[in-house]
Amino acid sequence: MYKSFSMDLAGRTLTVDVNRVAAQANGAAFMHYGDTVVLSTATASEKPREGIDFFPLSVEYEEKLYSVGKIPGGFIRREGKASENAILTSRVIDRPMRPLFPKDYRNDVTLNNLVMSVDPDCSPELTAMLGSAIATAISDIPFDGPTATTQIGLIDGEFVVNPNASQRAVSDLQLTVASTRDKVIMIEAGANEVPEEKMIEAIFKAHEVNGTVIEFIDSIVAECGKEKHSYTSCAVPEELFAAMKEIVTPAEMEEAVFTDVKQVREENIRVIKDKLTESFADKDEWLAVLDEAVYQYQKKTVRKMILKDHKRPDGRKIDEIRKLAAEVDLLPRVHGSGMFTRGQTQILTVTTLAPLSEAQKLDGLDEFETSKRYMHHYNFPSYSVGETKPSRGPGRREIGHGALAEKALVPVLPSEAEFPYAIRTVSETMESNGSTSQASICASSLSLMAAGVPIKKPVAGISCGLVTGENDEDYLVLTDIQGLEDFFGDMDFKVAGTHQGITAIQMDIKIHGLTRAIIEEAIANTKKARTYILDEVMTPVIAQAREEVGQYAPKIVQIQIDPAKIGDVVGQRGKTINAIIDLTGVKIDITDDGSVSVCGTEAGKMDEALKMIKTIVTDFEAGQVFEGKVISIKEFGAFLEFAPGKEGMVHISKISKDRIDHVEDVLTLGDVVKVVCLGKDKMGRISFSIKDYKEQK
């Protein structure tokens, strides 16, 4: 027998049905938020997966097009691979929940979210986040939850909790915050240069709402929650740690890991592993977990030195940024390029400009956002970390990093009216040792300005880390974390923005949440570092966008025509517009309001196309001068084409001031001549005169 629970959440009803469907899952929550319906399930394997040193959590967010009344496109007419939005939603569900599972748990766990009905005013993504937390909390899977998630908008300076579709469209902030009972555990934000103080206020507004949702979840768990099952711990034996310290002393491990060159550190650790492997040759059970044991030994060493001695692996001060460098115009034939280097992290971003017709089409559940003109793609090849493996396309991490940089840069992009281009930036990771996503934001700002994209302001990004002790007051926030500090630390707090405010945040942690003091310090530190990067590194290289797009970039000219004349320009089945394109080699985009964009690389060809379009939409009046091509000769005169699909006639009497017996005596097919318009003849045809043009001239 199923039970149903409801609460009011931001003026809409949130209902959770338990034991109504999917009864064989470890936990299932049939979620209703308004008319949005998501089935969230949590399942776990009975035994741990052998031979792994990580928690095998898989999070899925399945978008079914029937949820918005659509049939999928393509030949097979069924959903294909996950959309970018689905991947990003899976990641944002994963990030707050992963730290709350036991660290020594190795059973496979899958959190699946099936989107079955979508109400545009009730976010299916938010519903899935809540559903995953509830399904796991009521299941028998070990989990130190629950968590709750709230979205915050900002309209006219006022916060809006879980904004609806129309509110999201005009909001200056898209903030998602997940919390445990006492602390913030995940932050994701895109913002229109929101000041730091306002952002902190928004985060804790969401945290406050999350508290009421957690009380609601607690009531569900109290009635329907299962007893958590026992599991086989995969923790490294303490006796192994004791034996390791006799062979490799803490001082030796400290010397091995504390260097600013990643390759040197890796070689030092390899030597230590070889030494331990030889020493434990007769202990197979220890050798099976030796890699994890060495990792934990490194982690404890680094954390102790940072927290207690304020000593970072590469010798930097706690708030010191690694060596920085920036440059533009590395690639001569692309539309724009910029490279940003921070220590052993290096990103080269390339900008490509194209007509708006090349904007990306989106086929998802959002009925309002069907395309986007700015695309940021991030690539992370194996050579960037000195490894060898074939490229299989972008994974979830790459898609997530690209989306974060895109979110950070969208607020400073010019409008379509100001800059009628589709824009793509591709960030290639040349070298990686932590925080490549933030370096890609810096490199992209450089690249966009070098390409002549008139961004409002440059954007920079930086990341802060965290090492915590035994209580909430015992912690240290690190500015500009490198890979080792990310791996062994407790937080990766990424913040991007301009001098005026924040444009994007992404926060990942490995502990059970952050206090307000930690969040405020991290945001303050990132602002200080961001200001330094903008003023001292990026501005000296390129202070603002170039006045014109580059030599090899397409040029776009816009004109406005009467919307009623769009059909004349397009022609029957596109015949007229395609003829203009074939003749000139340009690309033409026409919007419903009559805005015409002509795109090309040769000014002469663009002018020719514009001239044809203007001729087509002109209402011919007496006295106007045109240039036409002779396309047909009759006994009584010649027909001229002034633009594709636009013709007129010159009577034989209007060809020359001298009397002629045959049109062919003066004109031949293909001749291009100047004429003056005489108005319409008795048959309603447009009449022209070569003779009167010459006399007028």
pTM of the model: 0.89
When the pLDDT of each residue in the chain is averaged and rounded to a whole number, the result is: 92
Residue 482 phi/psi, 5-degree rounding, is -95, 180
Could you report the per-residue pLDDT of 282-331, keeping only the tens digit for each? 888 888 888 889 989 999 999 999 998 898 988 899 999 999 999 999 99
For position 692, what pLDDT does the model report?
A: 81
- Say yes or no to pLDDT of 146 above 90: yes
Which residues share a beta bridge with 465?
Answer: 478, 492
* Residue 696 in this model has a pLDDT that exceeds 70: no
Which CATH number applies to 3-148+202-224?
Answer: 3.30.230.70
Tokens of 364: 């998802």
The percent of residues above 90 in pLDDT, for the chain, comes to: 63
Helices (H) and strands (E) in the chain, counts: 17, 29
**What is 625-696's CATH number?**
2.40.50.140
d(C-alpha 120, C-alpha 495), whole Å: 29
Model pLDDT, residue 684? 72
As a whole number of angstroms, the distance between CA 393 and CA 405 comes to 18
CATH for 324-538 is 3.30.230.70
pLDDT digits (tens, 9 = 90+) for 505-549: 999 899 999 999 999 999 999 999 999 999 999 999 999 999 999
| Band of residue 50 on the pLDDT scale cut at 50, 70, 90 | confident
Q: Decide if 74 contacts 128 (C-beta within 8 A).
A: no
Give the tens place of pLDDT for each residue, 665-683.
888 888 888 888 888 777 7
**pLDDT surpassing 90 at residue 436:** yes
Q: What would the mean pLDDT of 106-116 be, rounded to a whole number? A: 97
Distance CA 152, CA 168 (A): 9
* The pLDDT value given to residue 222: 96
Q: What is the pLDDT of residue 601?
A: 86
- Residue 641: what pLDDT? 86
**Tokens read off for 24:** 């064989």
* 599 CB neighbour count, 10 Å cutoff: 24
Location of structure tokens 């390129």: 542
Residues 212-235 pLDDT 10s: 999 999 999 999 999 999 999 888
Domain span(s) for CATH 2.40.50.140 in the chain:
625-696
Return the bridge partners of 349, or none.
338, 427
Rounded Cα gap, residues 398 and 380, in angstroms? 7
User: In the structure, what pLDDT confidence band is assigned to residue 207 with cuts at 50, 70 and 90?
Assistant: very high
Mean pLDDT of 600-627: 86
Lowest mean pLDDT, pick from 56-60, 340-344, 487-491: 487-491
CATH number of 238-309: 1.10.10
Residue 393 CA, chain-centre distance (Å), reads 16
Query: Which CATH code for domain 555-617?
Result: 3.30.1370.10
- All CATH 3.30.230.70 domain ranges of the chain, comma separated, are 3-148+202-224, 324-538
| The pLDDT value given to residue 618 | 82
Do strands 502-509 and 646-651 pair parallel, antiparallel, or not at all (unpaired)?
Answer: unpaired
Q: Give the residue ranges of DSSP H helices in 248-348.
A: 250-257, 262-279, 284-287, 290-309
**Greater model confidence, 203 or 80:** 203
Six-digit token string for 519: 């969040």
Structure confidence by residue, pLDDT tens digits, 117-138: 999 999 999 999 999 999 999 9
Residues 463-502 pLDDT 10s: 999 999 988 899 999 999 998 889 899 999 999 999 999 9
* Gap between the Cα atoms of 585 and 694, Å rounded: 32
Amino acid 72: pLDDT: 87
Percent of the chain with pLDDT over 70: 99
- pLDDT band at residue 422 using 50, 70 and 90 as cut-offs: very high
Chain centroid, CA 602 distance in Å:
33
Cross-strand partners of 60: 112
- pLDDT band at residue 688 under the 50/70/90 scheme: confident
* pLDDT at residue 697 in the model: 58
Mean of pLDDT values over 558-575: 89
In the chain, which segments carry CATH 3.30.1370.10?
555-617
Show the 3-state SS of 411-447.
HHCCCCCCCCEEEEEEEEEEECCCCHHHHHHHHHHHH
Hey, what long-range contacts does 299-303 have (CB within 8 A, 24 or more apart)? 299/487, 299/488, 301/250, 301/253, 301/254, 301/257, 302/257, 302/484, 302/485, 302/488, 303/467, 303/488, 303/489
Q: Are 14 and 6 in contact (CB under 8 A)?
A: yes
